[in-house]
Amino acid sequence: MASGWMASRGNRRRRNMDRGFLISDHADWQGLIDTVDASGAEEVLTTHGYSHVFARYLREEMGVRSRELQTEYGEEEDEGDKTTSSKK
């Protein structure tokens, strides 16, 4: 799991992750592209913001398997996108 949440003690264990890498959840477009490219990731799951747009860009322009992942962090709405996340 690569996330800013990995800075919080115990998050990796609570989320049952093998490894946790601290990386900001907030980056600009080029920063995200550079990170995906440098990581050599074979698959990317996108969340928050314009995640559907970014996933599509990764698939179509970079040839990286990607898809939007709905999270349990509450409702989020992108401009023109009415998809919401489920709440628990």
24 vs 49, residue with greater confidence? 49
CA distance 36 to 18: 20
Q: Do 43 and 64 form a contact (C-beta atoms < 8 A)?
A: yes
Domain housing 71: 41-88
Average of pLDDT values for 10-19?
A: 70
- Percent pLDDT > 70 in the chain is 59
What are the C-alpha distances in Å from 24 to residues 31, 79, 83, 86? 10, 23, 24, 23
Q: Do 35 and 27 form a contact (C-beta atoms < 8 A)?
A: yes
The pTM is what?
Answer: 0.56
Domain count, the chain: 1
CA distance 6 to 9: 7
Residue 50 forms part of a structural domain:
yes
- Mean pLDDT, the chain, rounded, equals 76
Residue 12 forms part of a structural domain:
no
